[in-house]
DNA sequence: TCCAGGAGCTAGAACGTTCTAGATTCATCC
DNA sequence: GGATGAATCTAGAACGTTCTAGCTCCTGGA
C-alpha cells in the first residue's frame, strides 16, 4: 500500500510542494533536481528525501517551456517497417549519451507524414529525424527552413538547404549483391525493385551498372516490387511461372525478400538450390535463424548514430560537414545464396 | 523560397508576435487559435492572416502547462511486436475522435518498461495505456495509484485498484483453436506456449481444458516457446525430431507460428498436409497472402477502441464498469490447417 | 432618458519550471 | 580588523500559453 502523498488530492506535486516540505526555496529544489551545483550535500539529501516522500516528479513540459532548449529530437517513423523500428532502437541509444530525448511520431494508416511532422513541431522539437520520408521535396524544404532536419535513407537531389542526409550507399550495396551472385556463377539475376520507395532508384541503378560491368547486359531484368512482403510475394509468383527460372533474385529489401522466399518454398522451388535470394537492410527479419537471409547489411546502429550526431552538431553550432553521410554497406552472406545448379 | 518571417531570427513566433502584427491582445489571438467564441469574424480573419504571415504555430507545451488538462494519452508499446504496432495504429484512430492525443514511448533493447513509463509521466499524460506490460504487479499498482492505467492483453489477478484491463478471452481463443483442430480430425495436438508472456497462462489453460473435454487428456503436450519467431523455430526443431510427429500445432502467437512454419517447410514437413499450424493474434503477419495463417483473431481495432474509451471515461468522470473488458476472439481459418493425413 | 444585456475585446494572473541577480554566511588573507 | 571570495541560498522575473474578470461599446425596451 503506497503511502498517501501529502499534497492536495488530484494534483500532482510541484517544486513548491517539495520546497515547503523541505523548508527551502523552490529555486533550491530546482537546483537539486537538475543535479546542478549550488547546494550542500546535507540540504541536497533533505530535498531529495522530501521529494521522494510526496512522490514528486519534474514536469517535463514546464521545464521545457522555461529553458530555452528543449533537447528534444523528433523522430518520424513507419510503424510497420522493421527497418525503421530497428533504427528507432538505435536512435534511442544514440540520443541518450548526447543528452537528448527522443519524441516519436508514427506514420500509419490514416496518419500521414504531414500529420506526424506537425505534431513534432508543436512539441517544440529542436530538430527532426525523418526515417525514409516520402513527402515531396518541396514540403521537406519548407520544414527544413524552420529547423534542422535529417533525412535517413532518403537521398535528396538537388540538396535542400537545412536538410542533411544520412544514408547507405544503395548503389554500392546493389553492386555487392550482384558481385556476390556473379562470383557464385550466376548470370541470370533478376531485380525486384522498390518502385518509388526511398533508395529504390539507386539500388536499381547499382544493379544495372554492375550487370553491365560483368557483361550481363542482356540478362538485366527488373520487375516491379515494393517494400512489403506482399509486394515480394506478388513478384515471386510472377517469376515462378517463368520457365526456365532465373537462377538468382535480388529483392528491394528484407521484407520483400521474405515474401519471395515463402512463395518459392510453397511452389517447390528450393532456395538456394534452385534459386538464390538476396535481401537488403539486414533488419531483424533477416537475422532470424529460420530465415537466415543473405542480405546487404545497412549498418543500422551507425546510421542512427550519425543521424543523431548530425542533428546535435547543427544544434550546438558545431561546424557541420556539408553534404551527406554515405555509409558503405556490407554484404552479409547467410544461407539463401549458393552456386546455381547446373 | 519561403518568405522571411517578421520575427527575430532563431526564435519561433509566439502569440505576442501575432498579436502585435494584428494589432490586438494576446488573449484575443488565443481565442482565435482555439477557435473559441468571443471574436468577430472580421478580426478572426485578420488574426489568422497575421499568424499565417509570420508562420506562427501554437506551442503545445506552453498550452498544456497552462490548461489543467493535457488531453494526452501515454502509450507504452514494444517496438518489435507487430501485434503492438497494429494496436498503436488502432489507438491513434480511436483517440483522435475522442479529442485526445497519443504520446508514444517504446520499449526496446536498452530501454525498459520502467523507463518508458517514466517518460510518459514526465510528459504529463493524463492516463496510460500499456500494451502487454510485463512489469511486476506491484510496480503497476504503484503507477495506477497516480493516474488511470489501462493494461491491454495482460490480465491482472487480483485486480489492482485504478488499473483496468482490456483483453481477449485467451482461454476461449485456445479452446476455439483446439475445437477447430479436433473437428478436422486431429487428436495429437501440441501447444507451443508463451512462457511468462501476457496471456500465455490463459492460453495454456484453455488448451488443457479443451483437450480434456474432448477426452484427449493423454495427448496433452505443452512445449516451451515464447513470443518471437526464434522461439517458435526452436520449438519446431525440437518437434520435427519426433517420430511420429504430432498432427497439429497450436502456437502461442503469430510470430511464434511463423517460426514454426518456416522450420517445417525447410525440414520437408508439409503444412497443412503433414501437420496443421494455428497462430494467435491475427496480426499483420498472419494476413500476408504468402503466410496465410489460420489463427485466433484478436479484434485489434476493438481492443484499441475499448482501451481508449476506458481511459477517457475514467478521465471524464463517467461511470466506469468495474472489472475487465474481455473480448471474444474469433478463429480465422486460412490455409495452414486441414484434416490429418491418414 | 436610462439602463439591461450582449458582443467584442483586454489586463493581468495563473501554470511549474529555470535563470539572473543578489543576499547571507563564514573562513581566509593581508 | 576589514576586505576578499567562495559556498550556499533566495526573491522574483521570465517562458508561451489559457483563464478570469472586467471594460467598452452598441442596441433596444421601458
Q: Which of B101, B109, B122 sits opposite A60 (nearest CB)?
A: B122
Cβ-count burial A67-87 (b if 16+ within 10 Å, e if not): eeebbbbbbbbbbbbbbbbbb
- Note whether B270 contacts A: Cβ–Cβ < 8 A: no
Q: Which of A142, A259, A288 sits opposite B229 (nearest CB)?
A: A288
Residues of A in contact with B118 (CB under 8 A): 57
At residue B6, the pLDDT reads: 43
Interface of A with B in 235-254 (CB under 8 A): 236
- Note whether A195 contacts B: Cβ–Cβ < 8 A: no
The 3-state DSSP class for residue A185 equals coil
User: What are the tens digits of pLDDT across the range A124-155?
Assistant: 899 999 999 999 999 999 999 889 999 999 99
* DSSP conformation letters of A92-126: HHHHTTTT-EEEEEEEBTTB-HHHHHHHHHHTT-S
| CA A99 – CA A91 distance, rounded (Å) | 12
- Note whether B61 contacts A: Cβ–Cβ < 8 A: yes
Residues of B in contact with A266 (CB under 8 A): 265, 290
User: What are the tens digits of pLDDT across the range A12-52?
Assistant: 899 999 999 999 999 999 999 999 988 999 999 999 999 99
CB contact under 8 A, A105 and B101: no
| Span CA (B12) to C1' (D16), Å | 11
Shortest Cα distance, chain A CAs vs residue B108, angstroms: 6
Alpha-carbon distances of A82 from A131, A225, B153, B280, rounded to whole Å: 12, 18, 22, 20
CB contact under 8 A, B58 and A92: no
| Span CA (A20) to C1' (D11), Å | 15
| Span CA (A165) to C1' (C2), Å | 73
Q: Which of B80, B122, B230 sits opposite A57 (nearest CB)?
A: B122
- Note whether B33 contacts A: Cβ–Cβ < 8 A: no
Q: Which of B55, B118, B290 sits opposite A263 (nearest CB)?
A: B290
User: What are the tens digits of pLDDT across the range A44-73?
Assistant: 999 999 999 999 999 988 998 898 788 899
At residue B231, the pLDDT reads: 95
At residue A233, the pLDDT reads: 93
Cell numbers at residue A172, please?
554500392
Q: B329, B173 in Cβ contact below 8 A?
A: yes
Rounded percentage of chain B residues whose pLDDT exceeds 90: 79
CB contact under 8 A, B59 and A111: no
φ, ψ (nearest 5 deg) of residue A248: -150, 150
At residue B166, the pLDDT reads: 97
- For residue A328, pLDDT beyond 90: yes
- Note whether A274 contacts B: Cβ–Cβ < 8 A: no
Q: State which nucleotides on strand C lie below 7 Å from a protein beta carbon.
A: 7-12, 14-21
- Note whether B284 contacts A: Cβ–Cβ < 8 A: yes
Q: Is the CB of B60 under 7 A from strand D?
A: no
At residue A290, the pLDDT reads: 73
Q: B327, B306 in Cβ contact below 8 A?
A: yes
- For residue B9, pLDDT beyond 60: no
Shortest Cα distance, chain B CAs vs residue A180, angstroms: 24
| Chains A–B, number of C-beta pairs less than 8 Å apart | 124
Q: Which nucleotide is nearest to B56 (CA to C1')?
A: D16
At residue B67, the pLDDT reads: 86
At residue B61, the pLDDT reads: 87
Q: How confident is the model at residue A308 (pLDDT cuts 50, 70, 90)?
A: very high
Mutate to test the interface with A, among B1, B79, B94 (most CBs of A within 10 A): B79
Identify the burial level of A36 via C-beta atoms within 10 angstroms of its C-beta, where 0-12 means exposed, 13-18 middle and 19 or more buried.
exposed
Residues of A in contact with B97 (CB under 8 A): none
Cell numbers at residue A35, please?
543535479
- For residue B290, pLDDT beyond 90: no
| CA B332 – CA B339 distance, rounded (Å) | 16
pLDDT: which is higher, A110 or B250 = B250
Residues of A in contact with B3 (CB under 8 A): none
At residue B1, the pLDDT reads: 36
Query: How large is the average pLDDT for residues B181-197?
Result: 97
The 3-state DSSP class for residue B77 equals strand
Q: Which of B60, B108, B263 sits opposite A92 (nearest CB)?
A: B108
- For residue A188, pLDDT beyond 80: yes
User: What are the tens digits of pLDDT across the range A249-283?
Assistant: 999 999 999 999 989 988 889 999 999 999 999 99
Q: Please, which residues bridge with residue A108 across strands? A: A111
pLDDT: which is higher, B86 or B4 = B86
Query: How large is the average pLDDT for residues A193-222?
Result: 97
At residue A10, the pLDDT reads: 58
Q: Which nucleotide is nearest to A41 (CA to C1')?
A: D8
Give the mean pLDDT of chain A: 92
- For residue B124, pLDDT beyond 60: yes
- For residue A303, pLDDT beyond 60: yes
Identify the top-confidence range among A173-187, A318-332, B256-270, B318-332: A173-187
Q: How confident is the model at residue B8 (pLDDT cuts 50, 70, 90)?
A: very low
- For residue A2, pLDDT beyond 80: no
| CA A231 – CA A84 distance, rounded (Å) | 18
At residue A77, the pLDDT reads: 97
Mean pLDDT is lowest, of A134-143, A292-301, A321-330, for A321-330
User: What are the tens digits of pLDDT across the range B301-310?
Assistant: 999 999 999 9
User: What are the tens digits of pLDDT across the range B94-103?
Assistant: 999 998 999 9
Query: How large is the average pLDDT for residues A273-299?
Result: 92
Name the region of A83 (left: φ>0; alpha: ψ -120 to 50; beta: rest): alpha
- For residue B21, pLDDT beyond 90: yes
Query: How large is the average pLDDT for residues B193-222?
Result: 97
| CA B223 – CA B194 distance, rounded (Å) | 9
Q: Is the CB of B304 under 7 A from strand D?
A: no
Residues of B in contact with A111 (CB under 8 A): 89, 92
CB contact under 8 A, A110 and B124: no
At residue A8, the pLDDT reads: 45
| Span CA (A63) to C1' (C20), Å | 17
CB contact under 8 A, A259 and B290: yes
Rounded percentage of chain B residues whose pLDDT exceeds 70: 96
User: What are the tens digits of pLDDT across the range B294-303?
Assistant: 999 999 999 9
Angle between helices A200-213 and A170-184 (to 10 degrees): 40
Query: How large is the average pLDDT for residues B114-133?
Result: 94
Rounded percentage of chain A residues whose pLDDT exceeds 70: 96
CB contact under 8 A, A65 and B60: no
Q: State which nucleotides on strand D lie below 7 Å from a protein beta carbon.
A: 7-12, 14-21
Query: How large is the average pLDDT for residues B106-122?
Result: 94
At residue B10, the pLDDT reads: 58
Give the mean pLDDT of chain B: 92
- Note whether A110 contacts B: Cβ–Cβ < 8 A: yes
- Note whether B196 contacts A: Cβ–Cβ < 8 A: no
Amino acid at each position: 500500500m503506497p503511502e498517501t502523498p501529502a499534497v492536495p488530492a488530484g494534483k500532482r506535486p510541484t517544486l513548491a510542494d517539495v520546497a515547503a516540505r523541505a523548508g527551502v526555496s523552490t529555486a533550491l529544489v530546482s537546483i537539486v533536481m537538475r543535479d546542478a551545483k549550488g547546494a550542500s550535500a546535507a540540504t541536497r539529501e533533505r530535498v531529495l528525501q522530501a521529494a521522494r516522500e510526496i512522490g514528486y516528479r519534474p514536469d517535463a513540459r514546464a521545464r521545457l517551456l522555461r529553458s530555452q532548449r528543449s533537447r528534444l529530437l523528433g523522430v518520424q517513423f513507419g510503424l510497420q517497417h522493421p527497418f525503421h523500428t530497428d533504427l528507432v532502437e538505435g536512435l534511442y541509444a544514440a540520443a541518450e549519451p548526447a543528452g537528448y530525448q527522443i519524441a516519436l511520431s508514427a506514420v500509419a494508416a490514416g496518419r500521414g507524414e504531414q500529420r506526424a511532422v506537425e505534431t513534432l513541431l508543436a512539441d517544440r522539437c529542436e530538430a527532426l529525424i525523418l526515417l525514409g520520408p516520402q513527402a515531396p521535396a518541396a514540403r521537406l524544404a519548407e520544414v527544413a527552413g524552420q529547423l534542422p532536419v535529417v533525412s535517413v535513407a532518403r537521398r535528396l537531389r538537388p540538396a535542400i538547404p537545412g536538410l542533411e542526409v544520412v544514408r547507405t550507399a544503395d548503389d554500392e550495396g546493389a553492386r555487392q549483391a550482384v558481385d556476390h551472385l556473379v562470383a557464385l556463377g550466376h548470370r541470370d539475376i533478376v531485380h525486384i525493385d522498390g518502385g518509388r520507395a526511398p533508395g529504390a532508384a539507386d539500388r536499381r541503378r547499382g544493379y544495372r551498372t554492375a550487370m553491365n560491368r560483368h557483361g550481363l547486359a542482356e540478362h538485366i531484368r527488373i520487375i516491379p516490387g515494393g517494400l512489403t512482403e506482399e509486394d515480394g510475394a506478388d513478384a515471386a509468383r510472377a517469376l515462378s511461372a517463368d520457365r526456365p527460372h532465373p537462377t538468382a533474385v535480388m529483392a528491394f529489401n528484407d521484407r520483400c525478400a521474405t515474401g519471395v522466399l515463402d512463395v518459392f518454398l510453397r511452389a517447390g522451388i528450393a532456395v538456394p538450390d534452385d534459386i538464390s535470394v538476396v535481401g537488403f537492410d539486414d533488419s531483424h527479419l533477416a537475422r532470424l535463424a529460420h530465415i537466415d537471409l543473405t542480405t546487404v547489411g545497412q549498418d543500422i546502429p551507425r546510421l542512427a548514430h550519425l543521424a543523431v550526431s548530425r542533428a546535435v552538431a547543427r544544434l550546438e553550432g558545431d561546424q557541420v560537414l556539408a553534404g551527406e553521410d554515405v555509409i558503405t554497406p556490407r554484404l552479409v552472406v547467410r544461407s539463401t545464396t549458393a552456386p546455381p545448379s547446373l
